[in-house]
Structure 1
Amino acid sequence: MNKKALLVAAILGSSSLLSSGSAFANAKGADISWLSEMKDNNYIFYNDNGVEQDVITTLKQHGMDSVRLRVWVNPADGFYSGIDDVVAKAVEAQNAGMRIMIDFHYSDTWADPGHQTKPSEWASYTAEGLTQAVWWHTYDSLNAIKAAGVTPEWVQVGNETNNGMLWGEGKASENMQAFTWLVNSGHDATKAVFPDSKVIVHLANCHDNANFRWIFDGLNSYGGKYDVIGASDYPTNVVGSSWQTVNQQCLANLNDMVSRYDKDVMITEIGVPWDNADAEAILRDMIDKLDEVQDSRSLGVFYWEPQASNFNGYTLGAWDPNTRKPTGALDAFIDDTTPTATTNRIRSRISDRCIDVNGARKNNGEDILQWSCHNNDNQQWTFNAVDSGYYQIQAKHSGLCLDIESASDNDGANVIQWTCKDTYNQQFIKEDMGDGYFRLKSRASGKCIDIYAQGTSNGDSAIQWSCHDGWNQQWKDD
């Protein structure tokens, strides 16, 4: 089907394009759209132990496997949340093994229940013109994401559209049909680029069943096309109600959405004040309630900007703005399936010595070598699970990670310590060699950590070399 035919199908509300693919496990994720701007403003983030660490790594250590990224049409600053910024963050997240949600606001700025302002370039468009603009903006943006090698699992068409979007033409209370055209246009453009991505229509106030029924009854009456009903849940923001009541009302609403419309559901935004003593309990309660959604139709939950640390005055993040460390709120996402980190020495089979950071130094670029095994922290290593069986290997004394110098794929490249990041030259898999020993194979180069020239002396350097069965490439946890 050509682009013109797809656009006509969107406007006329014809039958759906290819349906979404098979279901995946429940997502646990975070909207981290502010992250690039925060980094550019020199924000520093620490993990639970107070060690500087990449945000995505910390999220993964707390059980998260997904990120959500918003798209604005022409942001006022010309960049943040524009498509180039979104593509860069999506690539980083996918390379870290995260699943991706793209959230189209169809505005130059925030879209929410009280604000659905048309992009300045679209200000004079009719309803039909806006429908075309939504199609092309969605299509072109997703093609840019696709060209970068990223495949989003979910695409959200509109943000918190409690009364439609692109006001006034797309205001649901004034023209539900026009709102439906806009949703269908975003849906069909998404399916034209990513046929298997699930399309989400998202409303705020998960506890407000009446509003959800009104919007989705209206969409369905005009042939609305979508795969998932998304909801925002901010339990402590509801005046005159306890968080327990709000969460229970949210669950009841989600179950009603499943039974009434036969759709999957998802919490695409949730948040609690960073200093709320009950934050972990509030979040864990809602996460647990998602297991009670009938027919297992819940697809997951996303925390909104947990790394925010009072950035731009936002106080519902999950990093303490004073310590820059995660609050207990993030612990709510940890469950029995979250990989746990282990800390130990790494002992060589050939020399009976342990992997060590030269001089117990804490700087980037310090050599990794072997030394007589001792109990100091520069021989203690934490194996942080990444994905597909790979680990980051982090020094306890410095908080830095094993790294292949300059991301080299050459034999003999030096093994060093470097600030932990989500790149393949810091990711290793344990390959079983029998008798309790393993090789450490680099994800980037396919080569293994080796002791230079099969050395058995203190100070012999660790390098990478083509993998073989020699004992100078065999290690055990100690």
Structure 2
Amino acid sequence: MKRSIVYSLVIFTFSGTELLAPTNLVAQNFAKGADISWLPQMEATNYKFYNDQGQEQDCFQILKDHGINTIRLRTWVNPSTDKVSGHCSKEETVALAQRAQKWGMRVMIDFHYSDSWADPGKQKKPAAWEGHDFTQLQQDVYRYTLEVMSALKAVNIYPEWVQIGNETPGGMIYPEGSTANWSQLAQLINKGYDAVKAVSPKSKVILHLDQGNNKERFRTWFDNAQKHGAKYDVIGLSYYPFWLPGNPDYTLSINNLGENLKELAARYNKEVMVVEVGGEDTKAQNTYDMLVAVQNKVKAVPNKKGLGVIYWEPQGARSWSNYGLSAWGADGKPTKALDAFLVK
């Protein structure tokens, strides 16, 4: 997730319930998740988290008490030290994954294959990979993916899910991995897939697009993925009503999301998952209602192929991040929105 928006007259720029051991990567209950990749820097800059009662508490405890059982973490190749748009190195990702596992959280790793934000607006290759020919780029993807997965394995973490690329409607690692050359994009995806499976065969590989309500967008992309032999296990979707043209209320697009989820699962015989979702922090009740609706749509996918829903940086309070779609208030406490993950 990374967007540049005018929000309230301010421009914001930013893009199971048990331990997962190697033998414990079988399907578990519905994933209720949070991407909390900002958390270490929030803590390092002395941001304080408070529970519903106003008591200072570990963010993991607050999330767990609100039904969160899954943690998603992005990883960048050679990131800067910028508070908001840096960090998320291999070492930092592994350390945060260890914390998540100690809290009994399931883990998802999100490879951006960049030094900072990768999203529909940009898929800039890591600086260290600039000038490499396509053969070398394939090796770069395989080697880097293998390194991160091996570092996780070394501390007994086998992610339940691994994303190869982040919001890639136009491809990744431009220009070589653009959808203008699907054959090369598929080869890069497959190098990432193969590296994941070499270390953790039971980890499910996700390919991820934005605009989860846009059926044509997904059908075109995944038809091409199928045609060119891209390997994956799960289709990941982002769903942010706020970012849709005209900032419409979620009620105008939620049914399209539900239909898309069902059609994708049936057409490609794959599991589906909303790996990013978010709503306005100043409209907590509306965001709560949206999150309940999104979870219901994912659960309605036949044959239990709807795996879960993950909120993007719910703890990333506006006062720290300048991000207006968190689920945290100015008082340092979660908003009503986060209660949506307590709904059965």
What TM-score do the two structures reach when normalised by structure 2? 0.89
Give the structure with the larger helix fraction: 2
CA distance in 2, matches of 1:124, 1:257: 37
State which of 74, 88, 105 in structure 1 corresponds to 2:78: 74
CA distance in 2, matches of 1:326, 1:125: 45
State the match for 2:294 in structure 1: 286
- Secondary structure of 2:253's counterpart equals helix
User: Shift of the alpha carbon at 1:144?
Assistant: 0.6
CA change 1:190–1:201 in 2 (3 A) is same
2:115 is the alignment partner of 1:108: yes
Q: Which amino acid aligns with 2:325?
A: L
Selected match of 1:127 from 125, 128, 134? 134
Q: Distance in 2 between matches of 1:129 and 1:113?
A: 24
- Residue identity over aligned pairs, in percent, reads 44
Shift, 1:67, TM fit: 0.2
Match of 1:41 among 23, 38, 45: 45
Matched position secondary structure for 1:278: helix
Following superposition, the deviation at residue 77 of structure 1 comes to: 1.9
Q: CA deviation at 1:163?
A: 0.9
Asked if residue 185 in structure 1 is aligned to residue 191 in structure 2, the reply is: yes
1:415-463 Cα shifts (integer Å, max 9, x gaps): xxxxxxxxxxxxxxxxxxxxxxxxxxxxxxxxxxxxxxxxxxxxxxxxx
Match of 1:96 in 2: 103
Q: Deviations over 1:21-67 (max 9, x none)?
A: 64222100100000001111110000000000111111111111010
Report how far residue 237 of structure 1 moved. 2.3
Instruction: Tell me the amino acid that sits aligned with residue 48 of structure 1.
Output: D
- Whole-Å separation in 2 of the counterparts to 1:151 and 1:224: 22
Q: How far apart are the structure 1 equivalents of 2:217 and 2:243? A: 17
Matched, 1:312 2:321: yes
CA contact (8 A) 1:238 1:246 kept: no
User: Where does 1:163-178 land on structure 2 (aligned, <5 Å)?
Assistant: 163-172=170-179, 174-178=180-184
Match of 1:300 in 2: 308
Equivalent AA in structure 2 for residue 185 of structure 1: K
RMSD: 1.4
SS of corresponding position for 1:175: helix
The aligned counterpart of 1:60 is 64
Q: Give me the whole-angstrom Cα distance separating, in 1, the residues matched to 2:326 and 2:293.
A: 18
Aligned-partner Cα distance in 1 for 2:39–2:177: 31
Residue of structure 1 aligned with 2:281, choices 274, 277, 293: 274
1:334 aligns with 2:338: no
Alpha-carbon distance between aligned partners in 2 of 1:125 and 1:245, rounded to the nearest angstrom: 45
2:112 and 2:118 in contact (8 A); partners too: yes
Q: Provide the secondary structure at the position in 2 that maps to 1:232.
A: strand
| Letter paired with 2:45 | N
Q: Specify the alignment match of 1:24 in structure 2.
A: 28
For residue 224 of structure 2, give the secondary structure of its aligned residue in structure 1. Answer: helix
1:253 & 1:37 partners in 2: Cα distance? 36
Provide the residue aligned with 1:216 in structure 2. Answer: 222
Asked if structure 2 preserves the Cα contact closer than 8 Å seen for 1:199 and 1:227, the reply is yes
The structure in which a higher percent of residues are strand is 1
Report 1 or 2 for greater relative contact order, CA contacts < 8 Å, sequence distance ≥ 6: 2
Q: Over alpha carbons, which structure has the higher Rg?
A: 1
Amino acid at match of 2:36: I
Partner SS for 2:110: strand
Contact 1:127-1:170 within 8 A present in 2 as well: no
User: What does residue 249 of structure 2 align with?
Assistant: 242
Counterpart-to-counterpart distance in 2, 1:237 and 1:115: 16
* Further displaced range: 182-191 or 74-83: 74-83
Letter in 2 for 1:313: N
Residues 51 and 333, structure 2, Cα contact 8 Å, conserved in 1: yes
Which residue number corresponds to residue 233 of structure 2? 227
User: 1:52 aligns to what SS in structure 2?
Assistant: coil
| Greater displacement, 235-244 / 58-67 | 235-244
In 1: Cα distance, 2:88 partner to 2:174 partner: 21
Structure 1 unaligned regions, length at least 5: 1-19, 337-478
CA offsets 1:329-354 (integer angstroms, 9 cap, x no match): 10000034xxxxxxxxxxxxxxxxxx
Aligned with 2:201: secondary structure? coil
Question: Structure 1 length normalisation: TM-score?
Answer: 0.64
Q: CA deviation at 1:288?
A: 1.3
Runs (4+) off by over 4 Å: none
- Give the aligned length: 315
Distance 2:146 2:32 in 1: 27
Does residue 1:261 correspond to 2:268, yes or no?
Answer: yes
Secondary structure of the residue that 1:92 maps to in structure 2?
helix
| Distance (Å, rounded) in 1 between the aligned partners of 2:93 and 2:276 | 18
